[in-house]
Chain A
Amino acid sequence: MKILTVAEMAVREMLRRRAVLALLLAMPLAFYLVRRGDHVGQSIRFLLLGIAWAVSTASLFASGSSRPVEPRLRLSGYASHHLYLGRLAAMWLLGLVVAAPFFALVAIDHGDQVRIGAVALAMVFSVTVAAPFGLLIGALVPRELEGTLVLLVVVGLQMMIDPADSITRVTPFWSSREIGTYAVDHTGGEYLTRGLVHGLVFTILATALVALLSTARLRVRLRAATSA
């Protein structure tokens, strides 16, 4: 109940930021369109990265806007996990809503050339990983400008790094790239498996770190009186 209320209010707050919503949609669309003429695979891989960037940025800002309010909520009966899980659920929901029209776009544009189910899975994993990653950056770097720059560095690296280089495996959005490759290049199932495992592990790790940081930041340092 408490988690759902936090999630509901986070979604309401985000939906009222019209400009943010427009940019959330514009960013992946721009990524998709800019490579559409080259190669189907590249445009879809860029689209996945665009979705991940948009969702992680939204999560970062949601984290920033709730930071000053959370201590009061903590004192009003919420536990730390109500707050970060509620926000995470809201960002996942919002991310899926953002991804849905792009899935329709790919299905119409290239539905006959790709494994469309795997494209959907890659989008789901983009969102799944991006939401806790954005919250994690928000928890580690409290100022929004610095957080945005960190995200820019991460996404820039992800774009420029040689896909054959093993260092790509430590980048946050490698999972959607692998699942995306499986979807557009019709590679073997090992790409899908690797992507799923990486995505799950990264999501769990990022969520665990968010939990750890939030719990530490929002711990209440009071001694309860013992009854006489």
Chain B
Amino acid sequence: MDNDRWLWALGQEMARHQLTPDAVRHVVAEAAAHLRDSGQPALRAFGTPEGYAAAVAESLAARYGRPARPAPGRVRLSARGITKRYRRRTILRSVDLTVRAGEVAAVVGANGAGKSTFLRICAGLLAPDAGEVTLDGRLGYCPQDAGTYDFLLPDEQFVLIGAGRGLDRERSKQIGRAGAAALQWRPAAGVQTRHLSGGTRQKLNLVMASMGEPDVLLLDEPYQGFDRGTYLDFWQHVWRWRDEGRAVVVVTHLLSQLDQVDQVLDLTPATEGAAA
């Protein structure tokens, strides 16, 4: 990796760590100056761009603290006493979750803990055996899989979702393509959804969920198949949505980002309780 490429990668990684453009410019310029003066290759001087960006981000956070965020707003989603049984097995036992505008909630738990079931209940697609879900605002839902038509083009999927949201065709395509570009994906003309890779299909799935500016976003493990860069970009989106005042619920089994969400709902104990 030559120095220019390394510096570009450093800038990308720092942006993913939510550093301000000024801070990114400053750090990249300092690193470039050091490399120029020392004549060293960047990898030897600083290590990988990912590692250096993480170290810088940590150091800046320790010095200045995390940037202030607007206070959470009104309650957008409220799930109270949600219980769900399949035959004799209790999947969810009296689960509560309240998410306000400007908050991110992560739903975690082992396989079979009922994460997707809980999200489907929050979306209103599944009736709980007990409890109630109250929604304030417009909902965007990203299912874990199978949320797209195999034989349609990505643009057509955007038009289909856009029409439901009251958008015209051109606006729908525009919004869809912009969402795709933000996830580093440019839909090729004439390629049907069935020919997309698993990760790209998930990007399509995610873009469709976020169309129409929903107030509440329910995302069921939407990053499956994403490469590392796209995964980090995905979390950038989540934080941007949060900062725009949306309520976001993400089902996840990856714990690396949990320190950056506002609340974590762990469904594992409910399963253990049911199994006991």
Contacts and interface: CB of A to CB of B under 8 A. Distances in A.
A223 to B, nearest CB: 5
Contacts of A2: 163-164
Interface string A31-66: 000000000000000000000000000000000011
Interface stretch (B51-59, B146-154, B179-187, B256-264): B146-154
A75 B123 contact: yes
Contacts, number: 95
A69 B150 CA distance: 10
B265 interface: no
A5 B133 CA distance: 31
Nearest to A66: B149
A191 interface: no
B125 interface: yes
A13 B151 contact: yes
Contacts of A228: 74
Contacts of B160: 5-6, 9, 73
Contacts of B150: 13, 65
Contacts of A6: 160
Interface in A180-228: 220-225, 228
Interface string A1-35: 11001100100110011000000000000000000
A15 B126 CA distance: 33
A68 B167 CA distance: 23
Q: Which interface residue of B146, B161, B163 has the most chain A CB atoms within 10 A?
A: B163
Contact of B126 (A1, A5, A78, A221): A221
B268 to A, nearest CB: 25
Contacts of A74: 125
A220 B124 contact: yes
B136 interface: yes
A73 B139 CA distance: 11
B164 A73 contact: yes
A1 B124 contact: no
Interface of A: 1-2, 5-6, 9, 12-13, 16-17, 65-66, 68-69, 71-78, 82, 220-225, 228
17 contacts: A2-B163, A12-B152, A12-B156, A66-B149, A69-B148, A72-B161, A75-B139, A76-B141, A76-B164, A220-B123, A221-B125, A221-B126, A221-B127, A223-B132, A224-B134, A224-B135, A225-B136
Interface of B: 74-75, 78, 121, 123-127, 132-136, 139-141, 143, 146-152, 156, 159-161, 163-166, 192, 208-209, 211-212
